[in-house]
Amino acid sequence: MSFLIWRCRYRCWASPTGAVFTGGNLEAQRLRFATTKKAIQWVDWGHGNFGAQAAARAYFHTDAGHLTRGQAARLAAILPDPDKWNAARPGPYVAERSAALIGRATEVTRDNLDFCVR
């Protein structure tokens, strides 16, 4: 696939070289996403909840796929100490941290840097 991308764009000696680098890059991104996806299912979200699905049900009574951006950010914000903080009733730290995470996610979407998870 990466060879076809480079061959269509550049018809010169650089196309095989570019295809190698692009192909390796695509595979690395795919591997990173798959690893992250698997790791989220083993995270301890506190109070005996392991995995994003269990945390979504425990804190917000919904499936992980139906979480809002704010709810997902609150879950991420409690990860340093999930037994101490509560995603459903955020204190000052969780509220501030989740706002920062939402801001960063907005920047990633705005700058089209979310291509590996679309």
DSSP-assigned letters across all residues of 45-98: -STT-BSHHHHHHHHHSS-GGG--HHHHHHHHHTTTSTTT--SSS--HHHHHHH
In this prediction, residue 114 carries a pLDDT of: 80
Q: What residue has token string 């340093």?
A: 80
Among the ranges given (18-27, 34-43, 45-54, 82-91), the one the predictor scored with the smallest mean pLDDT: 18-27
Q: Count CB-CB contacts under 10 A for residue 73.
A: 23
Q: Which amino acid is at 67?
A: L
Residue 5: the pLDDT is 46
pLDDT in tens, 63-103: 999 999 999 999 999 998 999 999 999 999 999 999 999 99
Opening angle at CA 40, ends 118 and 97, nearest 5: 85
| Cα–Cα distance for residue pair 58/86, rounded to 1 Å | 11
Q: Which residue has the higher pLDDT, 38 or 66?
A: 66
Q: Tally Cβ neighbours within 10 Å of residue 114.
A: 11
